[in-house]
């Protein structure tokens, strides 16, 4: 068997959590491969809304094993809080959750460093979620980080103190106030809690699952345009959010990658700083934000909104080897008379391109739009592809032709049930 993958093609918050939860019923294993509690994945069913940060979105499917892979950075405090919240819904992830011993631990001082670095950047700040993601990955590549498996070694405290001292010496250079004692008490309590879970070699578990013909779904966090290598650097996150991250973040060979589901919104959003060529700063952007309830699931910040960006989507599809697409939040555009899609970028010298420039941050780009007539139909109750309005079907056909990839899922509301699956509409 091969592992299928779900990942975001824009700047995050495309609706990955909803689709992972929807598809998880068909999978034996759901595995997060990168990122950490910077993610906020929303799931809605039975009139309840859940936001997951660390725990994979297959957790509500009782027969599905959930894996936190080695590529993830894990904050025990947020993890504990999340598990306790799930217990209220009779979900007991103790039994079907497996955590990689190789996943890196987010320490309290990583969070402090994140805040200190952001503060020192002034106007150029990235708009980090301040969950300690960057500093933790930094220590991983500097080969000084602490892994989940280290927490059970007898000299863990020694290693912890050594790293903490290093962090404190950096923090001294920043004007920054903090109460580390409280943070540490909470951290060590949560670490003891975490140690009761199944801490395993998840790379072995996943490969054995595939060998035993179990189905595996890898769940991405963030989006392709936030990828450390291919995103709008430096306004990115610190991990590979793209398909290659599945191999390094779960220990899967490239030949073990199956279907790659690329998720995109019918428009585009971004939270935090950085370039966004199709951003709408005036009334239309505000209208998308209101209709789409575009406020961050992790930080509550208003998301920046704009029209769909096809050059960026084409780039993300190429990097990820996307085999099928999920078009999300289509219902948000239900009341619009006209809908725009950016087909090209007009560069400063007047030339048109649909290629991604090297440095999106320093380019003077004017988006070139193709305008479509709105469908003006409430999509939220529709369950069958054939019942979609003609204008929307034409728009979907246009996107499929431009992106050269089939759209197999059309999402028309936040609820698990508001998902239209075109079962025979993708290439295997």
Neighbours of 317 (CB within 10 A): 21
Spatial distance between the Cα atoms of 35 and 137, rounded to a whole number of angstroms:
9
Which residue lies nearer to ligand GDP by CB, 130 or 170? 130
Cβ partners under 8 Å of residue 319, min gap 6? 224, 227, 230, 242, 243
Residue 297 interacts with ligand GDP (CB under 6 A): yes or no: yes
Residue 44 interacts with ligand GDP (CB under 6 A): yes or no: yes
Q: Quote the least distance from Cβ 133 to ligand IMO, whole Å.
A: 4
Spatial distance between the Cα atoms of 351 and 344, rounded to a whole number of angstroms:
10
Which residue lies nearer to ligand IMO by CB, 8 or 249? 8
Residue 129 interacts with ligand IMO (CB under 6 A): yes or no: yes
Residues assigned a catalytic role: 13, 41
In 3D space, the residue among 105, 120, 122 whose CA is nearest the CA of residue 194 turns out to be: 105
Site for ligand GDP in 57-96 (CB under 6 A): none
Residue 263 interacts with ligand IMO (CB under 6 A): yes or no: no
Q: How far is CA 220 from CA 50, 77, 195, in A?
A: 17, 22, 25
Spatial distance between the Cα atoms of 114 and 131, rounded to a whole number of angstroms:
7
Phi, psi of 290 (to 5 degrees): -70, -50
Residue 127 interacts with ligand IMO (CB under 6 A): yes or no: yes
Query: 50 pairs with which residues across the strands?
Result: 43
Residue 242 interacts with ligand GDP (CB under 6 A): yes or no: no
Residue 310 interacts with ligand IMO (CB under 6 A): yes or no: no
Q: Per-residue x/- mask for Mg ion, residues 256 to 295, rule CB under 5 A?
A: ----------------------------------------
Residue with the CB atom nearest ligand GDP in the bound state: 42
In 3D space, the residue among 192, 248, 231 whose CA is nearest the CA of residue 69 turns out to be: 248
Tokens of residue 211, six digits: 């060998």
Residue 32 interacts with ligand IMO (CB under 6 A): yes or no: no
* Burial of 338 from C-beta contacts in 10 A (0-12 / 13-18 / 19+): exposed
332 binds, among Mg ion, ligand GDP, ligand IMO, none (CB under 5 to 8 A by kind): ligand GDP
Residue with the CB atom nearest ligand IMO in the bound state: 272
Q: Quote the least distance from Cβ 40 to ligand GDP, whole Å.
A: 5
Give counts: helices (H), strands (E), the chain: 11, 20
Q: What is the DSSP secondary-structure string of 71-95?
A: TBEE-HHHHHHHHHHHHTTT--TTT
Site for ligand GDP in 406-425 (CB under 6 A): 411-414
Binding site for ligand GDP (CB under 6 A): 8, 12-18, 40-42, 44, 297, 328-329, 331-332, 411-414
Binding site for ligand IMO (CB under 6 A): 8, 11-13, 38-41, 126-129, 131, 133-134, 221-223, 226, 237, 271-272, 297
Binding site for Mg ion (CB under 5 A): 13, 40, 297
């Amino acid at each position: 068997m091969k592992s299928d993958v779900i990942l975001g093609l824009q700047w995050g918050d495309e609706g990955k959590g909803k689709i992972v939860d929807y598809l998880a019923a068909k999978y034996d294993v759901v595995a997060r491969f990168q990122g950490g509690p910077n993610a906020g994945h929303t799931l809605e069913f039975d009139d309840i809304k859940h936001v997951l940060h660390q725990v994979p979105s297959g957790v509500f499917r009782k027969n599905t094993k959930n894996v936190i892979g080695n590529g993830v950075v894990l904050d025990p405090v947020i993890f504990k809080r999340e598990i306790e919240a799930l217990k209220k819904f009779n979900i007991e992830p103790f039994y079907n959750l497996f955590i990689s011993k190789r996943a890196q631990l987010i320490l309290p001082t990583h969070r402090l460093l994140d805040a200190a670095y952001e503060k020192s950047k002034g106007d150029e700040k990235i708009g980090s979620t301040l969950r300690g993601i960057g500093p933790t990955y930094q220590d991983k590549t500097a080969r000084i980080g602490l892994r989940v498996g280290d927490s059970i070694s007898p000299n863990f405290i020694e290693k912890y103190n050594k790293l903490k001292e290093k962090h404190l010496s950096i923090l001294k250079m920043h004007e920054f106030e903090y109460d580390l004692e409280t943070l540490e008490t909470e951290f060590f309590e949560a670490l003891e809690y975490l140690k009761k879970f199944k801490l395993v070699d998840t790379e072995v578990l996943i490969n054995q699952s595939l060998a035993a013909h179990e189905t595996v779904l890898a769940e991405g966090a963030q989006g392709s345009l936030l990828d450390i290598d291919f995103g709008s650097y430096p306004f990115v996150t610190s991990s590979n959010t793209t398909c290659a991250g599945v191999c390094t973040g779960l220990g899967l060979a490239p030949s073990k990658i199956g279907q790659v589901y690329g998720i995109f919104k019918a428009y585009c959003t971004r939270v935090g700083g950085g370039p966004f060529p199709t951003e709408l700063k005036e009334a239309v952007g505000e209208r998308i934000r209101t209709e789409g309830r575009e406020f961050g699931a992790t930080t509550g910040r208003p998301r920046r909104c704009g029209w769909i960006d096809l050059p960026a989507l084409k780039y993300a599809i190429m990097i990820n080897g996307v085999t099928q697409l999920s078009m999300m939040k289509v219902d948000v555009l239900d009341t619009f008379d006209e809908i725009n899609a950016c087909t090209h970028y007009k560069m400063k010298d007047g030339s048109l391109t649909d290629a991604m420039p090297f440095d999106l941050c320093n380019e003077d780009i004017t988006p070139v739009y193709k305008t479509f007539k709105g469908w003006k139909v409430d999509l939220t109750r529709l369950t069958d592809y054939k019942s979609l309005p003609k204008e929307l079907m034409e728009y979907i056909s246009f996107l499929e032709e431009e992106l050269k990839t089939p759209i197999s899922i059309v999402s028309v509301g936040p609820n698990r049930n508001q998902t239209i699956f075109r079962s025979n509409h993708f290439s295997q």
